[in-house]
């Protein structure tokens, strides 16, 4: 019996970027028969071409293989090693071997493909066993063991990262994990590439072309070169000017399918008013992410995220995290992009009216953080210190002035004779998580309400206008605080340290007929989402604590909008423009 060996020699190659590939099951199975290794084919040679399609996809011109594909940077196509796994016609793994690649050459003949690596593989196979008929390439694999399974099992594997980190000489290099692209051909999902008989006609000569795609999606945020990019917001007689600082990705997935997940059969194209399959360019433009069908388990506000009793599918950043991990706003070029794993979902997830979660929490989004400079009517700049300011009654105030305005407008906390309180030092403001009076309605985490301080001496409470005042003590303090929060002149929005944020869900194809559909929002592997902020002219969301996870108010009338332009590349390019 002959033993299996795998020898690989390198030829010309080219850099990897974004793309997808595959083949129909009829092609893979070689006319639906299972070839058996014979003496003649026991030593077979396979020329493997690993083609790295460019990244890209533009929701406004899908399928175009011209300007919508982007080469990306050399670091995004760098290869540490490749694991080739060969399968028989039934999808059972037959033989595998790690492979280290050397030089590469650029591919210029196809605008959707960036580079091609070629390798000559010698297979020494046991006579009488199943002949390999298809192959999958795992580029920069994070593991080299668990994917040595059948094709059906392979589709159920997950990864918690999109890169492989290699340490050499104390230096850590990150390589993008890639594998066979997935698309539909003749209505059938394909990803394992068939071994084709070589044109020489010799029975022991085969070749395979493998198109690969990265696990990661890529995002860049640019600032438009326009006059009056930031326009002050007028609050009463004051002017608030936002100074953007950094941006980062939030609501990102923590886990992804190793092989791009799509239904076995192509969906009815009429169900989506945009092109999701592009077999000509060996790619597709959509995917089913880990929590695609999830219709719950998303937070309503940052308070939910901070609650240790809650675990959510996506990761949400605080101001401090954006400040630490984010990219300087306005910077572009290599090193000023962020990457994440796929996060897609049905349109119904966004349109689920009356849901218990914040619709913005379902979509991977861009957080833009910054601070405000506040100018009074006389032109002087207000200094609010580290506590920042509060927006209340159409004015930006410090905490003392806010408490005075709130406490002076209530009539339930009195002195012993039922007279109005004039000493407001025994009040404070604090965030409350929900309104119990309104069916436990969640309160955005940047809102604060008038509350009692720790010193309750000399304070009395009237339950209604005709009641006698009773002394406030620990026993009835919560009751009084509940009334203050729910009835005493509403809530104020806090901008701690004068800081705020904008939250922009990343568009995949954008609104269709002004409606959210499946594909409107989402990030898909091997796509490049380019967002351009055209201007900032509305009031940002506030921040109560710099450690609060940042989620916008889910009430549509209070949504902070942004003027953006959005583009996505191959790397497929997606573009988005936003006015904030």
502-541 residue pLDDT tens: 999 999 988 888 888 889 999 999 999 999 999 999 999 9
Number of H helices, E strands in the chain: 8, 44
Position 297 in a domain: yes
Give φ, ψ of 323 to 5 degrees.
-65, -35
Same domain, 364 and 502: yes
Q: Which of 214, 230, 249 is the last residue of a domain?
A: 214
Q: What is the pLDDT of residue 500?
A: 97
Give the structural domain span for 178: 5-214
Position 317 in a domain: yes
Contact 429, 448 (CB under 8 A): yes
Same domain, 352 and 454: no
Buried residues in 514-524 as b, exposed as e (16+ CB within 10 A)? eebbbbbbbbb
Asked whether the predicted pLDDT for residue 269 surpasses 80, the reply is no
Structural element, H or E, at residue 48: strand 43-53
> What is the average per-residue pLDDT within 136-142?
92
Same domain, 232 and 201: no
Position 394 in a domain: no
Contact 132, 94 (CB under 8 A): yes
Length of the chain: 580
Asked whether the predicted pLDDT for residue 59 surpasses 70, the reply is no
Measured CA to CA, the distance from residue 288 to residue 162 in angstroms comes to 16
Q: What is the pLDDT of residue 536?
A: 92
Contact 203, 508 (CB under 8 A): no
Residue 199 in 3-state DSSP?
coil
Could you say which DSSP state residue 268 is in? P
Model pLDDT for residues 304-357, shown as the tens digit of each residue: 998 888 889 899 999 999 999 999 999 999 899 999 999 998 888 888 766 788
How many C-beta atoms surround the C-beta of residue 88 within 10 A?
Answer: 23
Asked whether the predicted pLDDT for residue 577 surpasses 70, the reply is yes
Please report the beta strands in 202-361, taking only residues with DSSP state E, as ranges in sequence order. Answer: 205-214, 217-223, 233-235, 238-250, 252-253, 256-257, 277-278, 283-284, 314-315, 327-328, 338-340
Measured CA to CA, the distance from residue 459 to residue 453 in angstroms comes to 11
Mean pLDDT, rounded, of the chain: 82
Q: What is the pLDDT of residue 271?
A: 74
Same domain, 354 and 469: no
Q: Which of 488, 510, 538 is the last residue of a domain?
A: 488
Distances in Å between the alpha carbon of 221 and those of 493, 508, 531, 532, 549?
27, 15, 5, 6, 21
pTM of the model: 0.86
Domain count, the chain: 3
Position 267 in a domain: no
Model pLDDT for residues 393-449, shown as the tens digit of each residue: 999 999 999 999 999 888 889 999 988 888 899 999 999 887 665 556 788 899 999
Same domain, 368 and 509: yes
Position 395 in a domain: no
Give φ, ψ of 137 to 5 degrees.
-105, 125
Measured CA to CA, the distance from residue 425 to residue 416 in angstroms comes to 17
Residues β-bridged to residue 371: 243, 499
Same domain, 113 and 82: yes
Model pLDDT for residues 244-254, shown as the tens digit of each residue: 999 999 999 99
Q: What is the pLDDT of residue 200?
A: 66
How many C-beta atoms surround the C-beta of residue 208 within 10 A?
Answer: 24
Same domain, 196 and 149: yes
Same domain, 51 and 71: yes
Q: What is the pLDDT of residue 353?
A: 66
Left, alpha or beta for 173 (phi > 0: left; psi -120 to 50: alpha)? beta
Alpha helices (H) along 396-545: 399-407, 474-487
Position 291 in a domain: yes
Residue 98: partners with Cβ closer than 8 Å, 6 or more residues away: 81, 82, 83, 144
- The answer, yes or no, to whether the previous bond of 238 is cis (omega within 30 of 0) is no
Alpha helices (H) along 364-473: 399-407
Position 159 in a domain: yes
Same domain, 326 and 475: no
Measured CA to CA, the distance from residue 571 to residue 266 in angstroms comes to 23
Q: Which of 460, 488, 516 is the last residue of a domain?
A: 488
CATH number, domain containing residue 574: 2.60.40
Of these ranges, 4-13, 122-131, 318-327, 350-359, the one predicted with the greatest mean pLDDT is 318-327
Q: What is the pLDDT of residue 39?
A: 74
Same domain, 365 and 428: no
Position 388 in a domain: no
Q: Characterize the bridge pairing of strands 43-53 and 205-214.
A: parallel
Q: What is the pLDDT of residue 391?
A: 96
> What is the average per-residue pLDDT within 66-71?
62
Alpha helices (H) along 471-519: 474-487
Same domain, 304 and 160: no
Same domain, 141 and 258: no
Q: What is the pLDDT of residue 101?
A: 61
Asked whether the predicted pLDDT for residue 156 surpasses 70, the reply is yes
Model pLDDT for residues 182-231, shown as the tens digit of each residue: 999 988 999 999 988 776 667 788 888 888 899 999 999 999 988 889 99
> What is the average per-residue pLDDT within 158-185?
92
């Amino acid at each position: 019996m002959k033993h299996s060996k795998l020898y690989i020699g390198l030829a010309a190659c080219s850099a990897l970027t974004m793309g997808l590939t595959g083949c129909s099951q009829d092609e893979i199975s070689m006319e639906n028969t299972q070839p058996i290794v014979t003496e003649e084919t026991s030593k077979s040679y396979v020329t493997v071409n690993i083609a790295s399609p460019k990244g890209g996809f533009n929701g406004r011109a899908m399928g175009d293989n011209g300007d919508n594909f982007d080469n990306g940077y050399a670091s995004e196509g760098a290869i540490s090693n490749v694991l080739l796994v060969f399968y028989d016609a039934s999808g059972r793994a037959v033989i595998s071997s790690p492979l280290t690649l050397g030089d590469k050459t650029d591919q210029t003949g196809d605008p959707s493909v960036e580079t091609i690596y070629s390798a000559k593989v010698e297979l020494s196979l046991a006579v009488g066993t199943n002949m390999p008929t298809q192959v999958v390439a795992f580029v920069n694999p994070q593991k080299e063991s668990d994917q040595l399974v059948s094709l059906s099992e392979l589709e159920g594997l997950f990864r918690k990262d999109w890169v492989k980190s290699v340490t050499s000489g104390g230096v850590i290099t990150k390589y993008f994990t890639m594998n066979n692209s997935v698309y539909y051909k003749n209505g059938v999902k394909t990803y394992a590439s068939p071994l084709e008989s070589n044109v020489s006609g010799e029975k022991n000569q085969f070749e395979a072309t493998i198109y690969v795609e990265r696990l990661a999606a890529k995002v860049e945020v640019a600032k438009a070169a326009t006059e009056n990019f930031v326009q002050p917001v007028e609050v009463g007689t004051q002017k608030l000017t936002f100074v953007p600082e950094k941006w980062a990705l939030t609501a990102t997935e923590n886990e992804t399918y190793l092989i791009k997940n799509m239904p076995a059969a192509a969906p009815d194209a009429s169900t989506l008013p945009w092109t999701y399959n592009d077999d000509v360019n060996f790619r597709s433009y959509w995917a089913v992410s880990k929590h695609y069908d999830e219709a719950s388990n998303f937070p309503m506000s940052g308070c939910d995220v901070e609650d240790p009793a809650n675990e959510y599918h996506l990761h949400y950043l605080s101001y401090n995290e954006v400040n630490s991990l984010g990219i300087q706003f306005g910077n572009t070029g290599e090193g000023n992009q962020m990457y994440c794993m796929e996060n897609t979902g049905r349109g119904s997830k966004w349109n689920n009216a009356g849901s218990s979660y914040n619709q913005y929490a379902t979509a991977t989004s861009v957080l833009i953080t910054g601070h405000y400079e506040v100018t009074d009517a006389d032109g002087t700049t207000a200094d609010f210190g580290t506590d920042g300011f509060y927006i209340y009654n159409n004015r930006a105030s410090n905490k003392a002035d806010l408490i005075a305005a709130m406490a002076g407008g209530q009539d339930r906390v009195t002195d012993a004779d039922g007279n109005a309180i004039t000493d407001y030092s025994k009040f404070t403001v604090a965030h409350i998580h929900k309104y119990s009076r309104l069916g436990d309605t969640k309160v955005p985490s940047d809102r604060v309400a008038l509350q009692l301080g720790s010193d309750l001496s000399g304070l009395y409470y009237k339950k209604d206008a005709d009641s006698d005042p009773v002394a406030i003590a620990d026993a009835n303090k919560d009751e009084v605080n509940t009334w203050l929060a729910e009835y005493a002149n509403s809530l104020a929005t806090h901008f701690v340290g004068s800081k705020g944020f904008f939250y922009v869900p990343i568009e995949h194809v954008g609104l269709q007929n002004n409606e959210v559909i499946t594909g409107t929002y989402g990030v898909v592997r091997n796509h490049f989402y380019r967002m351009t902020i055209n201007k900032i002219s509305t009031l940002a969301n506030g921040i109560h604590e710099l450690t609060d996870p940042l989620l916008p108010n889910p009430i549509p009338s209070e949504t902070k909008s942004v003027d953006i332009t959005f583009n996505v590349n191959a790397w497929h390019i997606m573009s988005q423009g936003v006015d904030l």
